[in-house]
Chain A
Amino acid sequence: MKLVKNTSGRFVFQLTPREQRLFVEVLELYPLIPDGTRKLTKQRGQATLDESQELLDEALAEQRVSNQRHLAKFLADPHRVHTMKSYTRLTLAASDMEFLLQVLNDIRVGSWILLGSPDCQTEKRLEVTQKNARYFWARELAGAFQSLLIAAMNLVQ
């Protein structure tokens, strides 16, 4: 997947058929961050903070539903994709790039959580099994696509 053109805030990427398939497959995993893992504060026991945590949970749940709808539309939109003989051209607006970065980070972080939150600086080592191998794959791919989008945005700045 490479950036081939950027004009007036529209990014045109070229993907091989395999890259296109992987891009769609990884996006279809959204959402992966488990409910209740995102905390407003580490402090506990104050009514105000508990209410604020509920607000955060509600806001993130709404965002998740909205993102799922948006992603379904995005993946079904035939105008974004122009298929040639040996490659596909994908056109993204700047707002699409921001949206995809959020979705890909959810997949990357969610995969890491589902892999047991491995940390190379502690004893929590990554153990890939048949059961969790798909999350290892998802984490790596989401990170790779995320880096490509960021690199394309940085080229423009």
Chain B
Amino acid sequence: MDYVTHVFQTVFGWSRQKAEQHMMQVHKQGKSVLIRESFEKAEHYVHQIHRYALNATMERDE
């Protein structure tokens, strides 16, 4: 779980507190909406998270 927090801090530049909130959401609910961005930026973040061997997907915001 610390690793997930570390990756969120590294990829998004978040504070430890914010990264931990999202990590806990993933832990308890199985997922967390990390960011809302343009297609290209979202794609970039998904690539970054996969590079850390974590799972992330992007979906169109309806």
Contact = CB atoms under 8 A, between A and B. Distances in A.
B2 to A, nearest CB: 5
B52 interface: yes
A29 to B, nearest CB: 13
Nearest to A46: B60
Nearest to A37: B55
A26 B3 CA distance: 18
Given A146-B3, A150-B6, A102 B59 contact: no
A147 B53 CA distance: 15
B15 to A, nearest CB: 11
A42 interface: yes
Interface residues of B, number: 19
Interface string A42-69: 1100001000100110011001000000
B47 A59 contact: yes
Contacts of B50: 38, 56, 60
A101 interface: yes
Interface string A23-43: 000000000010000111111
Nearest to B51: A63
Given A52-B43, A56-B47, A38 B55 contact: yes
A41 B3 contact: no
Interface of B: 2-3, 6, 10, 16, 39, 43, 46-47, 50-55, 57-60
25 contacts: A38-B55, A39-B55, A41-B59, A42-B59, A43-B59, A52-B43, A56-B46, A56-B47, A60-B50, A60-B51, A63-B51, A98-B10, A101-B52, A102-B52, A102-B53, A105-B3, A105-B53, A106-B53, A108-B53, A109-B53, A110-B53, A150-B6, A151-B2, A153-B6, A157-B16
Given A105-B53, A153-B6, 15 more contacts: A33-B53, A38-B50, A40-B43, A40-B57, A41-B58, A41-B59, A43-B60, A48-B39, A56-B46, A59-B51, A60-B50, A102-B53, A109-B54, A146-B3, A150-B2
